[in-house]
Amino acid sequence: MNIPTKDFTIDHHSKLPLHVQVEELFRKLIKMEAYKKGALLPKEVDLANLWGVSRNTIRQATNKLEHEGLIVRKKGVGTRVAENKSLTTGLDHWYSFTREMQEKGIHVVNQLLKTDMVQPNEEMCNFFNSSPEKKIFKLSKLKGEDSGDPIVYFESYFHPRIGLDKSDDFDMPLYSMLQENHGVTVHRSRENISACQAGAVIGKKLKVPAAFPVLKRERFVYDINGKPVEYNIGYYRSDKFTYTIDINKSS
């Protein structure tokens, strides 16, 4: 295990949670030349012993990096840094959809709003680091202009620790409500954007044919301590919404 101990240590007296510190160390680790060239990352048990943390804490960090597409795990082989096959862009700021539209001078309303407690799938369990037996809060929203066609259909899933329930005011911009009602300040978002056909279910909600092209956006939201807050999937009508990214070239 070739890790320089000076730059790869855990401060057990820091107020920063252990899993956040471990995640930061992993991000430094995968930038080392040997691992970028394909060498296997150290085993979880070895890192847990080296840093004086539990294997579960190590797994929290590796789960997050795997979801971000930065590492790949193969059973019986080990963990490697993922090949960089896609372009990643950073956005200077991001809002809830309602705030995004307000920035453009467009007033949107909830045409449909539904809440429920559901069983999480494997991807949600990995992101939230939670048990598949524990139900999580689901918020479904169909948004559009006043007396107009729908623009986007969202399904959001939230970490159980937040304590959302149907009595919360979901007519407020979501992230403002989370901060005011639950003391949760969102800090970072990772997004996957792709194109797909609406399909029968989503098409019916968006009032388009099943073969209609839609923009699919997956959003993984974290708080200021790096803890997962929300897993969100949005389906946008391609004739109603354009996703624009403004990027400045770094020097």
pLDDT (tens digit per residue) in 84-136: 543 333 344 455 676 666 656 667 788 999 999 999 998 899 899 888 899 99
115 and 149, same domain (yes or no): yes
Instruction: Please check whether residue 154 lies inside any domain of the structure.
Output: yes
Tell me: pLDDT of 153 over 90.
Answer: yes
105 and 228, same domain (yes or no): yes
Instruction: Please check whether residue 35 lies inside any domain of the structure.
Output: yes
103 and 131, same domain (yes or no): yes
* DSSP category for residue 16: S
- Place 204 in a pLDDT band, splitting at 50, 70 and 90: very high
74 and 146, same domain (yes or no): no
Q: Which residue has the higher pLDDT, 21 or 98?
A: 21
Instruction: Please check whether residue 9 lies inside any domain of the structure.
Output: no
The mean pLDDT of 183-193, rounded to a whole number, is 87
Number of domains in the chain: 2
161 and 192, same domain (yes or no): yes
121 and 217, same domain (yes or no): yes
102 and 154, same domain (yes or no): yes
Instruction: Please check whether residue 41 lies inside any domain of the structure.
Output: yes
Which residue, 192, 191, 193, 246, is CA-closest to 221? 191
125 and 154, same domain (yes or no): yes
**H or E stretch at 64:** helix 55-67
Instruction: Please check whether residue 54 lies inside any domain of the structure.
Output: yes
Instruction: Please check whether residue 89 lies inside any domain of the structure.
Output: no
59 and 168, same domain (yes or no): no
119 and 230, same domain (yes or no): yes
| Domain end position, chosen among 81, 108, 135 | 81
For residue 28, the enclosing domain spans 18-81
76 and 29, same domain (yes or no): yes
Whether the CB-CB separation of 80 and 43 falls below 8 Å is answered with no
Note the pTM of the prediction, 2 decimals. 0.61
